[in-house]
Amino acid sequence: MESTATEEVRGLTEAVGTVIVGNRPQIELCTIAWLVGGHVLIEDVPGVGKTMLAKALAKATGGHFDRVQFTPDLLPGDITGANIYHATQGVFEFRRGPVFTEILLADEINRATPKTQSALLEAMEERQVTVDGTTHPLPDPFVVLATQNPIEYQGTFALPEAQVDRFLMRVSLGYADLAGELEILDRFGSASPLSDLRPVTRPEDYPVLREAVTAVFVDDEIKEYLVRLVQRTRRHPDLALGASVRASLGLLRSSQARALLEGRSYVIPDDIKELAPPVLLHRLVLKANAELRGVTGEAVLEEVLESEPVPVGGRRAAG
């Protein structure tokens, strides 16, 4: 019998799916990230539904939603907020920025300068912002869904490794096929289905769902398998930078959330293998000579996954 938490999470993915055509795996990944309080980098060309996905997830989860359009002239205070002096009262008042929300859409994050991009670092990692020496806690959950156009597009700034590592996952939507694009025309031809979307969960449900995720059992052999995979990326000869310890923790929590979504009370190796690409790939940095040889991060990660024995029934069996 499926748990109430599993039914609720599946209902959440179904609700978002009424707005987003296709892309069921990406919807599930964003749902998993929301469950564990992880941030998502949605990377793709313009016009494929990145912003719509963020809006649909925010509305379906019933949380507060805000959006920041990143531009080259955006300042850090435009994100975090600032102290405003009231001359008549002779006092400073902190005016909260858009970061004080459950779900923040950071639209085209790589169009802002590195200084402004870094303004999100403390918020994403510490769930707080510090302005003029005073710390202000953020809501719980606080999830950043950042969209980004490909780096080679003119007028963009590459995200620094420190910020990239704070994103739990990177997902890509891609263009819809013929049938999918025709369905988009039918759904959005006269009205937006987003306006009819109703919340499936409430903010007060989040702690209960998070507890359900952490209650999912992870065998010690599964944990060792996960760590071995991550550590192999750090030793790979074609990588200048492998996955971090933060990546290990993120992969573990995401695997627990995937198991819950699948209706299981335990994690299996397939959870790790399915989530390794979206959780690990954006953290891998190729060596220059590997890039010149045409090596890709996808190929390196596939090699790592194939070379590490998979635990089966208390043993590690090749697979």
CATH (domain of 14): 3.40.50.300
The pLDDT confidence band at residue 313, using thresholds 50, 70 and 90, is: low
Partner residues linked to 68 by β-bridges: 106
Residues 220 and 210 in one domain: no
Residues 17, 49 within the same domain: yes
Residue span of the structural domain in which 252 resides: 216-319
- Identify whether residues 89 and 134 lie together within a single domain: yes
**For range 155-177, the mean pLDDT:** 82
CATH code of the domain covering residue 311 = 1.10.8.80
pLDDT at 314: 45
Does 199 lie in the same domain as 226? no
Same domain, 179 and 32: yes
What total of structural domains would you count in the chain?
2
Global confidence as pTM: 0.88
In tens, the pLDDT along 96-121 reads: 889 999 999 998 888 888 888 888 87
Is the pLDDT reported for residue 171 higher than 50?
A: yes
| Residue that terminates a domain, selected from 215, 244, 274 | 215
How far is the C-alpha of 196 from the C-alpha of 56, rounded, in Å? 10
Q: Which of 215, 241, 269 is the last residue of a domain?
A: 215
Same domain assignment for residues 13 and 109? yes
> Is the domain of 135 the same as that of 274?
no
How far, in Å, CA of 243 to CA of 230, rounded?
Answer: 6
164 shares its domain with 26: yes
Which residue, of 191, 215, 239, is where some domain finishes? 215
Q: What is the pLDDT of residues 251-264, one digit of tens each?
A: 999 999 999 999 99
Regarding whether 162 and 275 lie in a shared domain, the answer is no
Cα 227 to Cα 5, 168, 221, 249, 289: the distances in Å are: 28, 16, 10, 9, 27
Question: What is the structure's pLDDT at 315?
Answer: 41
Q: 7-16, 79-88, 89-98, 171-180 — which is least confidently predicted?
A: 171-180
Q: Do residues 225 and 155 share a domain?
A: no
Structure confidence at residue 132 as a pLDDT band (50, 70, 90)? confident
pLDDT at 198 over 90: no
158 and 278 inside one domain: no
Q: Determine the pLDDT at residue 175.
A: 74
pLDDT tens across 55-85, in order?
A: 888 888 888 889 899 888 898 889 988 888 8
If we measure between CA atoms, which residue out of 247, 221, 219 comes closest to residue 232?
247
Question: Is the domain of 226 the same as that of 247?
Answer: yes
CA 162 vs. chain centroid, Å, equals 15
Reply yes or no on whether the pLDDT at 316 is more than 70: no
On average, the pLDDT of the chain sits at 86
